[in-house]
Amino acid sequence: MKKLIAFLLLIVSLPAFADEGMWLPQLLSKLNESRMKSLGMKISAEEIYSVNKGSLKDAVVSFGGFCTGEVISSKGLVLTNHHCGYDAVQDHTTLENNYLRDGFWSKSFNEELTNPGLFVTFIKRIDDVTKEVMAGIDKNLIGPDRQAAISKNMKAVNDAAKKASTQESFVRGFFEDNQYYLFVTETYKDVRLVGAPPSSIGKYGSDTDNWVWPRHTGDFSVFRIYAGKDNAPAEYSKDNVPYTPVKSLNISLDGIAENDFTLVFGFPGRTQQYLPAIAVEQIRTQNDPAKIAIRDRALTVIDAFMRRDEQIKIQYASKYARIQNSYKKWQGEVLGLTRANAFAKKTDYENEFTKRVAAKPEWKEKYGEVLPSLNKLYEENLQYSVARDYYNEIFSKIELQKLALQLNSLVTAYENGGDKGYEARLQRVIPVMQETVKDFSAPVDKAVFASLMDVYLNDANKNFAAPTIVAAMEKYNGDATKWVDDLYKANQFYDSASVRNLFLKNPAEAVAAIRSFTAINLFSDAADIYQKQIQPTYNAKNDEIEKWQRIYMEGQMEVMTEKKFYPDANSTMRVAYGQVKTYQPRDGVTFDYKTDLKGVMEKYVPGDYEFDLPVKLIDLYKKKDYGAYANKDGSMPVCFIATNHTTGGNSGSPVLDAYGNLIGLNFDRAWEGTMSDINYDASICRNIMVDIRYVLFIIDKFAGAKRLIEEMKMVHPKVKK
């Protein structure tokens, strides 16, 4: 009877967290296929990942190493997010051809625009090489020693990997380095921009709507892979031809309904699902709040300037968005961890682990020390990890420091390599300085600097404050604004003219001039304290933590046998599955699972920089001219949400239906569920996708790019034959 109850409890509790996970595609048939089928999937694991024949994985690419893309035509057409293609669009944007503002649509292959440095990578094969990499590795090795031994084995495995001359490979650790996999890849380096909607569609809602549901963003852009005449990867050449893929995705025009099966295929960047309770609590109460407070100050200052000054708005828009993105995510994370009581949940889990381990001598021997050790180490490391956050967050927001570090590297190069060393380094420094100076506003940077010094000296641990900064603030009676003002006057290496003059000097003169800048010494002093008093202890403790996390992972997999484990995200290819679902972020509030063009219009604020709309879109809305892309009731779908477990890097990921047809592009998560990087909770964690029919409607009806539509294969899986 007891057994039956335990079994029933297990069954009942399964669905609550069964959609969690970023799974390895080659292990789906072993671990996930039956659950996926019970959620509605109609294809086999072999159709998703196969090494023997073309499968869905052959249509999924790592886009530039930071996002995901998918092949949607036999001529190598690739879809990704607008925010993933943003830099490429920006590079082609000029005042006359403002593609960011107005959108861009090539009218023929010839008009597709080249993007030096941009690449897409296919995954050809994934092999388990754990045995080979672990061979001869002493279990007690930690830190750099272990890393060196492992790296040597990894290199040997990688060198021996079977692959075609057009292919590359790499080995990566999984499950806190308890397992290793070899990835054989093929990278195409001629990736051209085909089309992008105006930002008023592709970035609609901008920072206000970022991380927020309900969402109304058409976050997509279109690229094309080009190959040599033999269809193999080739450097850019005007003679290259559109790539013929092994597999391209069919597109479903039938739309989505609540509880429909969804599969997200992509390259999630980094998660930390197996942290002990204490680490999660530290993130919630110490690390996140410190980082949020610092960014809050920087954003408040920058925002005030951007609203007053059009020039500053242009210069700082992209920097602002970058600072804001994590800032807002961490706030959601703290909220989610608090509401879901992650600490208590993790503690219960640890108590169960400890109980089981204690009951078996062999486990006690191997795992008895794990949690006490981790608890002690996280406690000891807390002041260093927080000090590290303060240092990194504060100084990375001060652009004068970036410039100072560049100039300082010239001094070092001169000291080590004389004139030659200086000249060589200068070639690298000039472009970075030029790029930084171009979008630099001294008033903004000064105000950010002054505001953050207050945090540095009052909120951060005073034991780690740089003496130069403490002394300066004493001299100025705590008036940071006055101090910083004088500092910028005496250190004018932030405007183009001064930089140009500096670089015209001969090396000895230039180095003497650089040495006279007091700001450089000040930043070096702060960096020195960080490198000598924070980083070494942090790194040493962290090496220990990594060792115990590895043993903890091994222990969990051995002891918590009822649980299925998936490895933390590490920018390798993964599959997340789930269902289209509503959610309740707080008492009395339920969010629908889909949005509509009607909602786009409801948010419209003419002339606003976040919520303006193109006239043409408004016209199409008024005429209800949606072609084949509307819902059955004639309305126009825009975005939807589901329970797929995703993170940064999953942007642009294809969202597939039960049959493997494309139904959307992943681009964000709902705010209340961003804690899923640490603690996934099926009741509030939702990924946000743009409906593929909205994408097609924009391409076809808004942009008139029929030639692209004609390349694609549309299907109707829901229409009974």
C-alpha distances out from residue 80 to 84, 103, 581, Å:
7, 15, 23
Give the residue from 186, 173, 245, 187 showing the smallest Cα distance to 24. 173
Return the HEC string of 508-554. HHHHHHHHCCHHHHHHHHHHHHHHHHHHHHHHHHHHHHHHHHHHHHH
Angle at 620 between CA 614 and CA 625, to 5 degrees: 155
Please, which residues bridge with residue 715 across strands?
252
> Of ligand ARG, ligand GLU, none, which one does residue 650 interact with (CB within 5 to 8 Å by kind)?
ligand GLU
What is the C-alpha to C-alpha distance for residues 343 and 694, in angstroms, rounded to an integer?
40
- Say whether residue 29 binds ligand ARG (CB under 6 A): no
How many CB atoms sit inside 10 A of residue 359's CB?
A: 10
Cβ 329 to ligand ARG shortest distance, Å: 7
Residue tagged active-site, from 73, 451, 651, 653: 651
Does residue 651 interact with ligand ARG by CB under 6 A? yes
Tell me the window of 49-57, 206-214, 574-582, 693-701 that interacts with ligand ARG (CB under 6 A).
206-214
Task: Assess 207 for contact with ligand ARG (CB under 6 A).
Answer: yes
Q: Is 647 a binder of ligand ARG (CB under 6 A)?
A: no
Q: Does the protein bind ligand ARG through residue 648 (CB under 6 A)? A: yes
Chain centre to alpha carbon of residue 346: 25
State how far the Cα of 75 lies from the Cα of 553, in Å rounded to an integer: 44
83 an active-site residue? yes
Contact 693, 627 (CB under 8 A): no
- One symbol per residue from 164 to 203: x for binding ligand ARG (CB under 6 A), - otherwise; what is it? ----------------------------------------
Instruction: Quickly tell me which residue has 């992509």 as its tokens.
Output: 266
29 vs 325, which CB is nearer to ligand GLU? Answer: 325
Would residue 207 show up in a list of annotated catalytic residues for this protein?
no
Q: Which is nearer to ligand GLU, 66 or 538 (CB)?
A: 66
Taking CB under 6 A as the binding criterion, the range among 152-160, 161-169, 174-182, 205-213 that sits at the site for ligand ARG is: 205-213
Helix (H) or strand (E) holding 324: helix 310-339
**What is the separation, in whole angstroms, between the first and last Cα of the chain?**
48
Q: Which of residues 324-353 bind ligand ARG (CB under 6 A)?
A: 325
Nearest alpha-carbon partner for 25 in 67, 56, 68, 61 = 56
List of long-range contacts for 29-35, beta carbons under 8 Å, 24+ apart: 31/564, 32/564, 32/575, 32/577, 35/577
In residues, how long is the chain?
721
Using CB under 6 A as the binding rule, whether residue 651 contacts ligand GLU is answered as yes
83 interacts with ligand ARG by CB under 6 A = yes
Q: Please choose, out of 117-125, 540-548, 596-604, 663-671, the segment that lies near ligand GLU by the rule CB under 6 A.
A: 663-671
Residue 649 interacts with ligand GLU (CB under 6 A): yes or no:
yes
Q: Which residues of 263-293 are buried (b: 16+ CB within 10 A; e: fewer)?
A: bbbbbbbebebbbbbbbbbbbbeebbbbbbe
Count of residues near ligand GLU by CB under 6 A: 10
252 forms part of the interface with ligand ARG (CB under 6 A): no
Q: Which of 211, 456, 488, 548 lies at the binding interface for ligand ARG (CB under 6 A)?
A: 211
Q: Quick check: 571 binds ligand ARG (CB under 6 A)?
A: no
Choose, by CB under 6 A, the member of 391, 629, 667, 671 that binds ligand GLU: 667
Q: What is the rounded distance in angstroms from the CA atom of residue 209 to the CA atom of residue 200?
A: 13
Q: Is residue 62 within the footprint of ligand GLU (CB under 6 A)?
A: no
Q: In terms of CB distance, is 441 or 595 closer to ligand GLU?
A: 595
Q: Which does 649 bind (CB under 5 to 8 A by kind): ligand ARG, ligand GLU, none?
A: ligand GLU
Q: What does 210 bind: ligand GLU, ligand ARG, none (CB cut-off 5 to 8 Å by kind)? A: ligand ARG
219 is catalytic: yes
- Say whether residue 646 binds ligand GLU (CB under 6 A): yes
**Could you say which of 55, 58, 83, 254 is catalytic?**
83
Residue 67 vs 499, nearer CB to ligand GLU: 67
Quick one: tokens of 391? 């240092």
Residue 646 binds which one of ligand GLU, ligand ARG, none, with CB within 5 to 8 A depending on kind? Answer: ligand GLU
The verdict on 218 binding ligand ARG (CB under 6 A) reads no
The answer, yes or no, to whether the previous bond of 242 is cis (omega within 30 of 0) is no
Check binding of 668 to ligand ARG (CB under 6 A).
yes
Q: Which is nearer to ligand GLU, 407 or 663 (CB)?
A: 663
Which residue among the candidates 19, 127, 219, 700 is catalytic per the annotation?
219
Q: Contact with ligand GLU (CB under 6 A): which of 282, 468, 647, 661?
A: 647
User: Using the rule CB under 6 A, which residue among 233, 336, 637, 648 binds ligand GLU?
Assistant: 648
Alpha-carbon distance 273 to 354, whole Å?
18
Residue nearest to ligand GLU (CB): 651
Residues 603-642 that bind ligand ARG (CB under 6 A): none
Is there a contact between 437 and 403 (Cβ–Cβ < 8 Å)?
Answer: yes
Regarding 287 and contact with ligand ARG (CB under 6 A), the answer is no
What whole-number distance in Å separates Cα of residue 128 and Cα of residue 429? 42
Q: Are strands 687-691 and 113-114 parallel, antiparallel or unpaired?
A: unpaired
Strand 251-252 to 714-715 pairing? parallel
Which spans of this chain sit near ligand GLU (rule: CB under 6 A)?
Answer: 67, 646-651, 667-669
**Residues catalogued as catalytic:** 83, 219, 651
Which spans of this chain sit near ligand ARG (rule: CB under 6 A)?
Answer: 83, 206-207, 210-211, 321, 325, 648, 651, 668
